[in-house]
Chains A and B, each alone.
Chain A
Amino acid sequence: MSLFDVVGPIMIGPSSSHTAGAAKIGLLARNIFHHPLKRVSIVLYNSFADTGPGHGTLQAIVGGLLGFSMEDERIPQSLELAKQQSIAIDFSFLDDPEKHPNYVTILFDKDSASCFSVSGVSVGGGHAKIVEINDNKVEFSGRHDLLILQYRDICGMVALVGKLLARHHVNIAYMQISRDAVEEKALAVLKLDAPVPSIVLNELENKPEIYSAVAVPRWKEEEL
């Protein structure tokens, strides 16, 4: 670990796993969803469900969804701030021994055709990972610049994206692909050494086989 994980992070209390990590999941989910927030359902599991309400977990997740970092002093007021922005938020609390103790699923526009879900786990020390996007298993913590693509599962898509990124000198550090064979849909998460140039993003979005292309900026712990 880093010495700055030992003396740090700078965060809103009271708990690095239940508050700081929860805020990080909310912020990552916001950046992945990448649309204005209207209706959000938050499902907390296990320890997040049991002790989350006493640890500001709800405020932290919503704060992250509003774009606040884990050290933002507006986190305690996030529920009121969301209400002021006319964002409808509901919570539910479940047990599932199969899941990580600090697990949360965030559903955007639930029960609509455009329903989008992101699940994350808080692993301690303010660190968190996204583990599922729309039923696709993924795993990333936001340390890299990311490109997240949803596309029609046909031959040559990886080559196309790779070529486009290479043309703009963006190196791919790691990539994960998962697909739904029935719906012929695939989801790819690319971890990159540099941010996705907007010209690449535009080009990807204009391809009919690509349903969505979202760039998630590298996680910035705090200003310094």
Chain B
Amino acid sequence: MNLPKRIRIKGWQDAVEQMQSYALEDLYAFFLAYESQNSEIPLDLLIQKMEHRLSTMKTSIHNGLKKPNITDSGWINGGAFHMKQFTEKGHSLLGKDFSMMVSKILAVSELNACMGRIVAAPTAGSCGVLPGVLLSVAEKKHYRDHDLVKALFVAGGIGEVISIRASLSGSNHGCQAEVGSASAMTAGALVYLSGGDHEQIESAAAFALKNILGLVCDPVAGRVEIPCIKRNVMGGCNALACAEMSLSGIKTLIPLDEVIDTMATIGDTLPCTLKETSLGGLAVSPSGKKMKLQTKLPRKE
């Protein structure tokens, strides 16, 4: 079937219906066509572009793990590196795979805080979730890059739907829109990678976002460090659990579109102090305030 010159979607359900009406094989094929029609860039170039993002994600994990990452504030002091050593010494509570996944998520998030090169997914503040989890599962299950690239298009599609119905920015809707979206994108990508159908992908993404609804954005001293980096780990663990629940056959009773709309409503209701302004939450805890004073910011003229 011929595709229209431009493909517009209103939400997840609409995307699934259009995928079926154009007789496209799966959500990867749909979102690839969506991007190609709207950007007028041929499919093979888009795939190459996503391959480049995948290889950058791998490099970020590598660079984030090779030495302790220390931010200029000193608040982040080698967390990913410590976690890796803890794992290698056999101290994991649940097994090496899980602990290494945590270490990889930390690695990318810490690298971001240290001005390293990362792929925002969907934002820089939430950049650890998708690569940390996806590449851990890929290593364990021996998935090929070819499949991972497809999963990244599905992840991108989930984020696109969230950006259309709500937003992906902490200053608009709080951390639920950043780490929550990253977690939903990752959960959906994992289910796609594991061979799940569009309903299972939807359930995984819906579970992941539901679990993080209401999470505020309250960075200490406005820096993308505390609590952002550990929240990436939370988003990653949540994504893994939600993907497995969905693959086991558990289904969401609230459709993804409604969960996203709920996130927007909650985000709009949140006071500005809890949306990336550092005027509320942990940023104004006694220690948070003290830490803000410690950071060397140039005096305003």
Query: Which A residues fall within an 8 A CB radius of B?
Result: 1-4, 6-16, 19-20, 49-51, 53-56, 59, 71, 73, 75-76, 91-95, 124-126, 222-224
Q: CA–CA, A20 to B116, complex, Å?
A: 12
Which residues of chain B have C-beta atoms less than 8 A from A11's C-beta?
117-120, 124
A residues near B34, Cβ cutoff 8 Å: 3
Cβ B52 vs Cβ A222 within 8 A: yes
Check if A6 sits within 8 Å of B222, measured CB to CB.
Answer: no
Do the beta carbons of B35 and A2 come within 8 Å of each other? yes
- Min CB–CB distance B187 → chain A (angstroms): 15
Interface contact B124-A19, CB-CB below 8 Å: yes
Q: Are B127 and A3 in contact (CB under 8 A)?
A: no
**Contact indicator B117/A6 (Cβ below 8 Å):** no
Asked if A2 contacts B221 (CB within 8 A), the reply is no
Tell me the smallest distance from the CB of A43 to a CB of chain B, in Å: 9
Give 6 CB contacts A-B under 8 Å. Answer: A4-B156, A8-B120, A11-B117, A12-B116, A93-B300, A93-B301
Partner pick for A50 among B155, B168, B222, B299, CB 8 A cutoff: B222
Determine if B121 and A7 form an interchain contact, defined as CB atoms under 8 angstroms apart: yes
| Cβ–Cβ < 8 Å partners of B221 in chain A | 51, 54
Chain B min CB distance to A1 (Å)? 6
Cβ-defined partner of B223 (8 Å) among A1, A14, A124: A14
Q: Which of B16-24, B82-90, B106-114, B244-252 contacts A (4 or more CB under 8 A)?
A: B106-114
Q: Are B224 and A55 in contact (CB under 8 A)?
A: yes
> Quick check: A15 and B124 within 8 Å, CB to CB?
yes
Q: Enumerate B37-60 residues with CB–CB distance to A below 8 Å.
A: 38-39, 45, 48-53, 56
Task: Known contacts A13-B116, A53-B298, A75-B115; decide if A7 and B130 are in contact (CB<8 Å).
Answer: yes
Binding site for A on B (CB under 8 A): 31, 34-35, 38-39, 45, 48-53, 56, 73, 111-125, 127, 130, 152-153, 155-157, 159-160, 163, 168-169, 171, 185, 221-225, 278, 295-301
CB pair B155–A13 under 8 Å, yes or no, is no
In the complex, chain A residues whose CB is within 8 Å of the CB of B299: 93
Q: A3-B153, A8-B53 are in contact. Are A13 and B111 (CB under 8 A)?
A: yes
* A-B contact sample (20 more), CB < 8 A, given A8-B120, A13-B114: A1-B160, A4-B35, A4-B156, A6-B121, A7-B156, A9-B120, A10-B52, A10-B117, A10-B120, A13-B224, A14-B223, A49-B300, A51-B278, A53-B298, A73-B116, A75-B115, A93-B298, A93-B300, A125-B169, A222-B52
The 5 closest A-B pairs by CB, nearest first: A13-B112, A6-B159, A3-B156, A51-B222, A14-B224
CB neighbours of A1 from chain B (8 A) = 160, 163
Instruction: Say whether, besides A7-B50, A7-B152, A8-B53, A13 and B124 are in contact (CB < 8 Å).
Output: yes
Residues of B within 8 A of A20 (CB): 120, 124
Tell me what chain A mostly uses at the interface: helix, strand, loop, or mixed.
Answer: mixed
Please tell me if the beta carbons of B122 and A6 are within 8 angstroms of each other in the complex: yes
**CB-CB < 8 A to A54: which residues of B?**
73, 221-223, 295, 297
Q: Which residues of A contact B278 (CB under 8 A)?
A: 51
A55: contacting residue among B52, B127, B223, CB under 8 A: B223
CB-defined contacts of B163 to chain A, threshold 8 Å: 1, 6
| CB contact between A8 and one of B119, B185, B222, B296 (< 8 Å): that residue | B119
Cα–Cα distance between A135 and B254 once the two chains are bound (Å): 52
Contacts of A9 in B (CB 8 A): 119-120
Q: Is the CB of B53 within 8 A of A3?
A: no
Closest residue of chain B to A53 (Cβ to Cβ) is: B297
Q: Whole-angstrom distance between the alpha carbons of A91 and B301 in the complex?
A: 10
Q: Which residues of B contact A15 (CB under 8 A)?
A: 124-125, 224
Cα distance A10–B125 when bound, in Å? 13
CA distance A92 to B125 in the complex (A): 26
Bound Cα distance A8, B39 (Å): 15
In the complex, the chain A residue whose C-beta lies closest to that of B32 is A3
Contact partner, B49, options A16, A76, A125, A224, Cβ 8 Å: A224
| Nearest-neighbor residue (CB-CB) of A56 within chain B | B115
User: Nearest residue in B to A101 (C-beta to C-beta)?
Assistant: B171
Most buried by B among A1, A7, A55, A56: A7
B52–A224 CB distance below 8 A = yes
In the assembly, what is the distance between CA of A71 and CA of B34, in Å? 26
Looking at the assembled complex, report how far the CB atom of B69 sits from the nearest CB atom of chain A, in whole angstroms: 11
